[in-house]
Structure 1
């Protein structure tokens, strides 16, 4: 099942990953994670069998073997969230094999999913978020600073995921006259995102300064050598801002998307509207922001009420 091999199981794993990309619109990040999960499972099975696993071994797997694999990964330091994703990868792969009548083994389905703690987003305050996206507000900025400012504004001002912002092409550029963007998010789910005038201005400023010619179908945001901008560059930019602005460790590019949702909710936006803007498939995913807003309200109450 090592996806770099050329045996039957490797070929099937490649076909499965390709189907996830084409039929479900799985992101490159998800595909890479699932690939690693399969490879780890293959290594575990190879250790038990004393050889590389084959398709026939898949039919003979037991729930005990799967639990042993999960326990081994836990001992290696994997957290519940990563273990849950690993189980999801294995379940999806086995269901795919069964659906194509290649193999049938319900052992993976008999193993309970790891319990994942209910994570609550950690948004920035309005002031802190404003300080981050004011990155390119100065009179004299270079094109890199203008680029980073435009990307961060798309995360906070439009609620985009970093991958969504960096997948925009030059012809998608949200400049004056384009007050909305059609975004294809996780699972191929489309949504229409309003674009504020301040975002349009930031993108126009970047386009005026960028030293590279950007064809219509090329990446809108480019790196120092003119290739598509890596998410890592934006992550490092926010890391530097954490240090210079005294922001908490939870201040990440994705925290700007959380801040977008939380601040809209605080201003009275409807939860269903926020769900549409974020591109969540389920309202239950969006409802975590009600907990954030409640916690913030209680903190303000405790700090300000004379009887608190």
Structure 2
């Protein structure tokens, strides 16, 4: 009896020590550099937004917050890297619909589990795509463009940032929704794709509002519809796909902050609070709105549930379009 009691006391003492150590580490955090890992090249939309967040989060936490770019394989290289790091609050991933929505569907051998290997912190923002066509395309509305596609399905083409990317899948979802056929031409990024859209080498592209907007504003391409549930503040005169006759259609680009799995709850809460407060400052909200993005209120478990829904949605599209990258 005495030995059993002693063993119980020892287990309780060990558990208390571990709890105290975790609490102490959380209380001391942050006492070194926090890295926001962007799994894409510097200069893109994900990178630019991450750098603004790093600046604001650093000021809020009185810490040194830096951005580290680890591009490769459609964002999966940097994402896997974060998944293998300690869940100590010093390494955060700037994830996206690509890394945690479409990648689990298009890669049969993805080197991480988008759900089990991460602690969801908060969605940063959502950005709609805009469907645009070359000026020579004889259509000024989505309905008119669909009529052209149904009349001559082999004549028209659409560009994407690459096979299996979010804007590729957004277009594939539209093809299924509208019951049309259009030839896919993958590019290595939105820059060269937009140049060829302007030049008429391809006819249509779905791309985030922030990068297409300058071409639309200058009249170099025609915007037919946006893929969000509501119209974009940057393009208030452009209807949504749903408004244009396809209710329920939605294909948003989103960015979100995630940490490695099994982060202690007190630390997760402190980090999430810091990020949410940073995102809701007037300066940050204004910056995101200028990029055509909207700050999100989805955080914690709700973000985790959103990731599951996104994977389910895009895997159906991938299966129907028979897309595989390995």
Task: Compute the TM-score of the two structures, normalised by the length of structure 1.
Answer: 0.27
* Higher normalized helix content (fraction of residues): 1
* Higher normalized strand content (fraction of residues): 2
The answer to which structure, 1 or 2, has the higher relative contact order (CA under 8 A, 6+ apart) is: 2
